[in-house]
Amino acid sequence: MPSVCFYFQVHQPMRLRHYTVFDSDDRYFDDGKNAAICRKVANKCYLPANRLLLKLIDKHQGRFKVAYSLTGVLLEQLESFSPEVLSTFHALADTGCVEFLAETYYHSLSFLYSRQEFVEQVKKHVNAIEELFGQTPKVFRNTELIYNNDLALLIEAMGCFDAIITEGADHILGMRSPNFVYRPQGCKHLKLLLKNYSLSDDIAFRFSNRHWVEWPLTAAKFEQWVSAVNGNGNVVNLFMDYETLGEHQWEDTGIFDFVKHLPEEVLKNPDNNFKTPSEVVASYDPMDGVDVPHMISWADTERDLSAWLGNPMQSNAIHELYRLEKKVKTVNDERILSDWRKLQVSDHFYYMCTKYFADGDVHKYFNPYDSPYDSYINFMNVLDHLQTRCTTPVVGIDRAGTGSGQTVTPVGMEN
Amino acid sequence: MGLNEEGSGVRVFMLGWEFPPFISGGLGTACYGLTRAMDQLGVKVTFVLPKMVESSYVTHVKLLSPASSTPEETKALSEYELKNVSFKTIASPLQAYATPQSYEERIEDTRRLQHETTERGQAGAEVDRATDYGGDMYREIRRYATMAMDLAKSEQFDVVHAHDWMTYPAGVAVAAMTGKPLVVHVHSTEFDRSGEHVNQVVYDIEREGMERADKVITVSHYTRGLVISRYGVSPEKVEVVYNGVERNGQWSLAQANIRRDEKLVLFLGRITMQKGPEYFLHAAKRVLEVMDDVKFVMAGSGDLMYRSIELAAQLGIGQKVLFTGFLRGDDVRKIYQMADLYVMPSVSEPFGIAPLEALDNDVPVIISKQSGVSEVLKHALKVDFWDVNEMANKIVAVLRHPPLQMTLRNHGNFEVRKLRWKDAAQRCVDVYEQLLVPV
């Protein structure tokens, strides 16, 4: 009885403008570029995909369901640059077939650097979703599906979530299948949903690849793969970036057609159905405990943190950023706090990745900079300036002063 | 014809420039690196270069080449243990990087010197040897071509390979006489050296050389573009062969950590229009507005050296800029060891070997986007040469943020190891073989 559980990640970073060491204003973000990209992606993906899913939900009378995680920085940009996308999300929320997940409002790596900041951002995001869609998120996903045991424990301790989502990485599962609900190591109530990366990536990455033996992928073929899970799994978790529909896989690849026919194909088999993550959690008991002592993510083949923290520039930039937390929060200025938090968006660190730079691949596609070095320089100039804004009105201008070192150790277990 | 352990069997009549320790710039470095690597590939090379008979003369611009060497120094040429290379010199005052003006001044100096010696000493037999060199530079270039033809008569070779414009007429002449295919190797063009103030005669010589050549090798796609658009050479005739870098073997990290409190930003190269010294100085000025503990070193000589000294003074940063004059050998290595950053703000740079050497010496680099080397280096900071603000921005970032320096250095050093003269030599051999395979 496999249930198909779709969750789409929807996010757009706020890109920085070119900011040199000689700049001294506090306009850090490139509104023009951000607006243009937001509108472009809205037209290619968000609008057509939302409309299609609305139609499908309507057509299948409540039997087709999906979930979204919309980042706070995306919501802010949609509000300013593409309000019509927001209204289609409202319409989706009104169908009752759409679940919204919780994450850090700023799509940040804060869990690794400051538990306090992490919890504040999660709460901020939950509030935003409640306010916009009248729905309280019960399932949590962390930025880039970054996960370990400690995260699950913290999420359980927050007391407001039923489940958490992460990558169904081979090295945490061993021979086990991602198609069951699990229990995070050490948790009592919280359940764990794992991405079926093989079937998810068939859609997200391989769909348009003509060298792939399964090309072209049809809804009927995909239904067979889903149905094959029957007898050895309860749920097929298809987690991917929403931009897969129309932006990563362009319309002319047939991706919308594929999605359009998928529900009817899947539902042809009476054993199959669609469930939202919360319904999956309510329907199935955990099969087993899963122990994840080390950090994992859904990125690259390594499934680790190296895309954000793999070189000295990245770790320096992020350490310096979180070192500022105390000062930023002491100054108590909403604008400074908001700028500081927007600098936490994980994409800023992704742009600094040198891992595949020489080969120029997927990393490059999403990168507004010519090189990881340019992105680091730009980020550090902005951060330097933000720092001067924190120190000017309050006591002590010395940089080495407050909080040096103790907030910056990643992944220490506090309480 | 394939390459095997015994070598390719190709024999090359190579018209080149400068061999160590007399290297005055990238052209000499390239000829040396390429020829040495060809030797290792088993390619037989007859390396022909100009050598001035007179050795005791003075010039304004002190360029070091075989031409200006003492007889003992010249001996060094044969001591490179290149078993497949034979050196032939042609008596001539031609030098790498000479211009018609500098050439004239130099001949003038030689004459004066000879005149003085003759006045002091015994007059007579040795009168005015300089006049043997056919007057102006262009005539000397033609004379050089004739001498090369004479030399070629007694040599066995399959291909003629000429490096940069002064040797093109010689290459054309030798190829015409022997019916062997001609390859001209473009290390720079008149547009790189003179901007839009092109010397028509030089341009014509370059153009004729490229036209008559069977293949044109350029050191970058940047230069290939110039050769096609400015010289009208048909694209299928032009091949890109990137330069390599000579690994300096015995490097010790301990030497690198010289402790001192001032940062050092290095410009190393000829101080000429092409190299963009004024952009370096304007950027230095901007850097000093936000940082204090920095010194800028301009290592090299050239026709804009005095103007650059004046400009530094004018900008009010004279005390922060050091001019070392032309450096060589150990001094170059020493200055690299002291440097935190190397900047190459070239206005037009066909390739640019110096940044590779800097990286090889663990110095991160900022290079102008208007350079061939920026095609091959990913792990370098890049700026438009005119954008002094951005140049300064990047200089400050490297000096302020050790993690940036570290990442650039580690990746850059790794990257530069992949650029080997051996590959460049092999690419040249491939080009020869295209010409030698009967169609």
- Contact between chains at B403 and A315 (C-beta distance less than 8 A): yes
Quick check: helix, strand or coil at residue A361? coil
Angle CA(B340)–CA(B341)–CA(B347) in degrees, nearest 5?
Answer: 160
Question: Has residue B319 been placed in a domain?
Answer: yes
- In this structure, are B151 and B276 located in the same domain? no
- In B233-338, at which residue ranges do the beta strands (DSSP E only) sit? 238-240, 263-268, 294-299, 321-325
The CA distance from B388 to B123, in Å, is: 57
The CA distance from B171 to B167, in Å, is: 6
- Contact between chains at B393 and A381 (C-beta distance less than 8 A): yes
Q: Is B382 on the interface with A (CB under 8 A)?
A: yes
Question: How crowded is residue A48: how many other Cβ atoms within 10 Å of its Cβ?
Answer: 16
Which residues lie across from B295 on neighbouring strands? B264
The CA distance from B439 to B419, in Å, is: 32
- What CATH number does the domain located at A3-290 have? 3.20.110.20
Q: What is the CATH number of the domain that holds B319?
A: 3.40.50.2000
Which residues lie across from A241 on neighbouring strands? A9
Judge whether residue B129 has pLDDT over 90.
Answer: no
Query: Which range is least confidently modeled, A294-308, A397-411, B102-116, B138-152?
Result: A397-411
Q: Which pair of tokens denotes residue B287?
A: 């850097």
Position A329 scores a pLDDT of 95
- In this structure, are B268 and B156 located in the same domain? no
- In this structure, are B291 and B388 located in the same domain? yes
Q: What is the pLDDT of residues A188-227, one digit of tens each?
A: 999 999 999 999 999 999 999 999 999 999 999 999 999 9
3-state secondary structure A145-209: HCECHHHHHHHHHHCCCCEEEEECCHHHHCCCCCCCCEEECCCCCCEEEEECHHHHHHHHCCCCC
Judge whether residue B64 has pLDDT over 50.
Answer: no
Nearest CA in chain A to B398: A377
Judge whether residue B48 has pLDDT over 90.
Answer: yes
In this complex, the residue of B400, B407, B415 whose CB is nearest that of residue A313 is B407
Query: Which range is least confidently modeled, A324-333, B20-29, B146-155, B286-295?
Result: B20-29
Residue B209 contacts residue B220 (beta carbons within 8 Å): no
Query: Cα dihedral sign for B405, B411, B414, B415?
Result: negative
Query: Which residues in chain A are closer than 8 Å to B286, comparing Cβ atoms?
Result: 22
Alpha helix (H) residue ranges in A60-148: 72-81, 83-94, 110-113, 115-133
Tell me which residues of chain B, numbers 399 to 418, contact chain A at a CB-CB cutoff of 8 Å. Answer: 400-401, 403-404, 406-408, 411, 415
Q: What is the pLDDT of residues A33-83, one digit of tens each?
A: 999 999 999 999 999 999 999 999 999 999 999 999 999 999 999 999 999
pTM recorded for the entire structure: 0.82
Query: Which range is least confidently modeled, A128-132, A262-266, A314-318, B298-302?
Result: B298-302
Q: Which pair of tokens denotes residue A298?
A: 């859904």
Q: Is A365 on the interface with B (CB under 8 A)?
A: no
Q: Which of A17, A21, A361 to mutate to test the interface with B (most CBs of B within 10 A)?
A: A21
Q: Percentage of chain B with pLDDT > 90?
A: 55
Position B53 scores a pLDDT of 56
- Contact between chains at B407 and A311 (C-beta distance less than 8 A): yes
Q: Region B301-312: what's the mean pLDDT? A: 91
* B257 contact partners, CB below 8 Å, separation of at least 6: none
Give A336-349 as a DSSP string.
Answer: HHHHHHHTTBTHHH
Nearest CA in chain B to A319: B403
- Contact between chains at B379 and A357 (C-beta distance less than 8 A): yes
- In this structure, are B239 and B266 located in the same domain? no
Q: What is the pLDDT of residues A217-262, one digit of tens each?
A: 999 999 999 999 988 899 999 999 999 999 888 889 999 999 999 9
The CA distance from A260 to A269, in Å, is: 17
- Contact between chains at A371 and B390 (C-beta distance less than 8 A): no
Tell me how far CA of residue A145 lies from CA of A108, A142, A234, in angstroms.
11, 5, 21
Judge whether residue B33 has pLDDT over 70.
Answer: yes
Q: Which pair of tokens denotes residue B164?
A: 């940069």
- Kindly report the average pLDDT of chain A as a whole number: 91
**A236/chain B closest Cα distance in angstroms:** 41
- Contact between chains at B407 and A377 (C-beta distance less than 8 A): no
DSSP A108: B
Position B71 scores a pLDDT of 44
pLDDT band at B118 (very low <50, low <70, confident <90, very high): low
Question: How crowded is residue B318: how many other Cβ atoms within 10 Å of its Cβ?
Answer: 13
Q: Region B379-405: what's the mean pLDDT? A: 96
Q: Region B203-210: what's the mean pLDDT? A: 96
Q: Is A96 on the interface with B (CB under 8 A)?
A: no
- Contact between chains at B401 and A315 (C-beta distance less than 8 A): no
In this complex, the residue of A22, A315, A354 whose CB is nearest that of residue B411 is A354
In this complex, the residue of A20, A357, A371 whose CB is nearest that of residue B390 is A20
Position A363 scores a pLDDT of 58
The CA distance from B210 to B284, in Å, is: 40
- In this structure, are B240 and B262 located in the same domain? no
Position B24 scores a pLDDT of 73
- Kindly report the average pLDDT of chain B as a whole number: 84
Query: Which residues in chain B are closer than 8 Å to A317, comparing Cβ atoms?
Result: 403
In this complex, the residue of B401, B406, B408 whose CB is nearest that of residue A380 is B401
| Nearest to B344, CA basis, from B410, B420, B259, B277 | B277
- Contact between chains at A380 and B411 (C-beta distance less than 8 A): no
**A373/chain B closest Cα distance in angstroms:** 7
Helices and strands in chain A, H and E counts: 19, 12
Quick check: helix, strand or coil at residue B344? strand
Nearest CA in chain A to B377: A358
Q: Is B294 on the interface with A (CB under 8 A)?
A: no
Q: Is B375 on the interface with A (CB under 8 A)?
A: no
Query: Which range is least confidently modeled, A240-249, B158-167, B335-344, B410-419?
Result: B410-419
- In this structure, are B217 and B299 located in the same domain? no
pLDDT band at A401 (very low <50, low <70, confident <90, very high): very low
- In this structure, are B323 and B185 located in the same domain? no
Question: Has residue B1 been placed in a domain?
Answer: no
Q: Region B223-247: what's the mean pLDDT? A: 92
**Exposure class string for B319-353: b at 16+ Cβ within 10 A, else e:** ebbebeebbeeeebbebbbbbbbbbbbbbbbbbbb
- In this structure, are B393 and B427 located in the same domain? no
- Contact between chains at A373 and B381 (C-beta distance less than 8 A): yes
Question: Has residue B3 been placed in a domain?
Answer: no
The CA distance from B350 to A89, in Å, is: 55
- In this structure, are B401 and B427 located in the same domain? no
Position A410 scores a pLDDT of 44
Q: Which pair of tokens denotes residue A392?
A: 């000017």
Q: Is A406 on the interface with B (CB under 8 A)?
A: no
| Nearest to B104, CA basis, from B133, B63, B129, B127 | B133
For chain B, the domain total comes to: 2
The CA distance from A21 to B291, in Å, is: 11
Nearest CA in chain A to B405: A313
- In this structure, are B205 and B271 located in the same domain? no
Q: Percentage of chain B with pLDDT > 70?
A: 82
Q: Which of A18, A357, A377, A383 to mutate to test the interface with B (most CBs of B within 10 A)?
A: A377
Nearest CA in chain A to B414: A358
Alpha helix (H) residue ranges in B401-420: 402-416
Position A337 scores a pLDDT of 97
- In this structure, are B178 and B257 located in the same domain? no
Nearest CA in chain A to B291: A21
Q: Region A1-20: what's the mean pLDDT? A: 95
- In this structure, are B268 and B337 located in the same domain? yes
Position B61 scores a pLDDT of 29
Residue A161 contacts residue A121 (beta carbons within 8 Å): no
Say how far residue B266 (Cα) sits from the centre of its chain: 18
DSSP A356: T
Query: Which residues in chain A are closer than 8 Å to B359, comparing Cβ atoms?
Result: none
Query: Which range is least confidently modeled, A98-107, A357-366, B68-77, B192-201?
Result: B68-77
The CA distance from B86 to B78, in Å, is: 8
| Nearest to A189, CA basis, from A225, A210, A163 | A163
Quick check: helix, strand or coil at residue A118? helix
In this complex, the residue of A20, A313, A315 whose CB is nearest that of residue B404 is A313
Query: Residue B338 is part of which domain span?
Result: 253-416
Judge whether residue A177 has pLDDT over 80.
Answer: yes
Q: Is B112 on the interface with A (CB under 8 A)?
A: no
In this complex, the residue of B379, B393, B408 whose CB is nearest that of residue A22 is B393
| Nearest to A409, CA basis, from A106, A111, A108 | A111
In this complex, the residue of B389, B394, B406 whose CB is nearest that of residue A377 is B394
Nearest CA in chain A to B390: A20
Query: Which range is least confidently modeled, A19-28, B129-138, B157-166?
Result: B129-138
| Nearest to B108, CA basis, from B143, B78, B133, B74 | B133
Quick check: helix, strand or coil at residue A139? strand
Query: Which residues in chain A are closer than 8 Å to B400, comparing Cβ atoms?
Result: 380
- Contact between chains at B381 and A20 (C-beta distance less than 8 A): no
**A411/chain B closest Cα distance in angstroms:** 22
pLDDT band at B108 (very low <50, low <70, confident <90, very high): confident
Q: What is the pLDDT of residues B398-417, one digit of tens each?
A: 999 999 999 999 899 888 88
The CA distance from B141 to B166, in Å, is: 6
Instruction: Give me the active site residues of A, please.
Output: 144
Q: Region B139-159: what's the mean pLDDT? A: 94
- Contact between chains at A371 and B378 (C-beta distance less than 8 A): yes
Query: Which residues in chain A are closer than 8 Å to B388, comparing Cβ atoms?
Result: none
Nearest CA in chain B to A20: B393
Position A300 scores a pLDDT of 80
**B60/chain A closest Cα distance in angstroms:** 41
| Nearest to B185, CA basis, from B135, B239, B132, B225 | B239
The CA distance from A153 to A163, in Å, is: 11
- In one-letter notation, the amino acid at residue A203 is I
Q: Region B223-250: what's the mean pLDDT? A: 87
Position A335 scores a pLDDT of 96
In this complex, the residue of A317, A357, A381 whose CB is nearest that of residue B378 is A357
- Which burial class, exposed, middle or buried, applies to A266 when counting CB atoms under 10 A from its CB (0-12, 13-18, 19+)? buried
Query: Which range is least confidently modeled, A21-35, A116-130, B287-301, B323-337?
Result: B323-337
- Contact between chains at A358 and B378 (C-beta distance less than 8 A): yes
Q: Is A24 on the interface with B (CB under 8 A)?
A: no
How many beta-carbon contacts under 8 Å exist across A and B? 65
Q: Which pair of tokens denotes residue B30?
A: 């390239």
Domain assignments of chain A as residue spans, ordered by start: 3-290, 309-391
| Nearest to A277, CA basis, from A89, A128, A138 | A138
Position B414 scores a pLDDT of 87
Query: Which residues in chain B are closer than 8 Å to A309, comparing Cβ atoms?
Result: none
